[in-house]
Chains A and B, each alone.
Chain A
Amino acid sequence: MTAELLRVEDLKVHFPIRTGGILFGEYTPLKAVDGVSFSLKEGETLGIVGESGCGKSTLGRALLQLIKPTDGKVVFLGNEVSSMAGEQLRAQRQHMQIVFQDPLASLNPRMTVGDIIGEPLTVFFPKLSTAERKAKVRDMMAKVGLLPQMINRYPHEFSGGQCQRIGIARAMILNPKMVVCDEPVSALDVSIQAQIINLLMELQQDLGLSLLFISHDLSIVRHVSHRVMVLYLGKVMEIADRDSIYAQPLHPYTQALISAVPIPDPDLEKNKQRIVLGGDLPSPMNPPSGCVFRTRCPRATGVCAETVPVLEEKAPGHRVACHHWGVPEQKLV
Chain B
Amino acid sequence: MTAVLEVRDLQVRFSTPDGEVSAVNGVSFDVNESECVGIVGESGSGKSQLFMAVMGLLAKNGRALGSAKYRGTELVGMPVRDLNKIRGNKLAMIFQDSMTSLTPHLRIGRQMTEVLIEHQGMSEADARIRALDMLNLVRIPEAARRLTQYPHELSGGMRQRIMIAMALLCEPDMLIADEPTTALDVTVQAQILDLMADLKRATKAAIVLITHDLGTVAGLCDKVQVMYGGRFMETGDVRQIFYNPQHPYTRGLLSSMPRLTEDRQETLYAIPGQPPNLQRLPAGCPFQERCTFVHQRCIDELPLLQQAGPGQFKACHLASLDVPVDDPNRAAIPAGELPPVIPHTATGDARTA
Contacts and interface: CB of A to CB of B under 8 A. Distances in A.
B215 interface: yes
A280 B256 contact: no
A127 interface: no
Given A191-B42, A265-B344, A260 B187 contact: yes
B217 to A, nearest CB: 8
B268 A276 contact: no
B151 interface: no
A274 B190 contact: yes
Interface stretch (B16-24, B114-122, B270-278, B322-330): B270-278
B254 A261 contact: no
B64 interface: no
Interface in A263-282: 263-270, 272, 274, 276-281
Contacts of A222: 258, 260, 264
A219 interface: yes
Interface in B140-196: 141, 155-158, 185-191, 193-194
B280 to A, nearest CB: 14
B215 A194 contact: no
A201 interface: yes
B189 A201 contact: no
B187 A277 contact: yes
Contact of A274 (B157, B194, B259, B270): B194
Most chain B CB neighbours (cut-off 10 Å) among A190, A218, A268, A277: A190
A51 B274 contact: no
Contacts of B270: 191, 194-195, 197-198
Given A159-B275, A274-B194, A280-B157, A265 B242 contact: yes
A266 B188 CA distance: 21
Contacts of B188: 51, 280
Interface of A is mostly: helix
Contacts of B205: none
A246 B260 CA distance: 8
Contacts of B344: 265
A195 B265 CA distance: 14
Interface in A175-226: 189-195, 197-198, 201, 216, 218-220, 222-223
Nearest to B215: A262
A130 interface: no
Among A161, A192, A262, which residue has the most Cβ atoms of chain B within 10 A?
A262
A89 interface: no
Given A216-B185, A257-B187, A263-B261, A268 B345 contact: yes
Nearest to B258: A223
Contacts of A189: 42-43, 212, 275
Contacts of A276: 187, 190-191, 194
Given A262-B193, A270-B219, A162 B274 contact: yes
Given A191-B271, A280-B155, A263 B187 contact: no
Interface in B273-303: 274-275, 290
Given A246-B260, A263-B215, A218 B186 contact: yes
Contact of B258 (A195, A220, A260, A277): A220
12 contacts: A51-B185, A190-B213, A190-B253, A194-B270, A195-B270, A256-B187, A258-B260, A260-B187, A261-B186, A276-B190, A276-B194, A280-B157
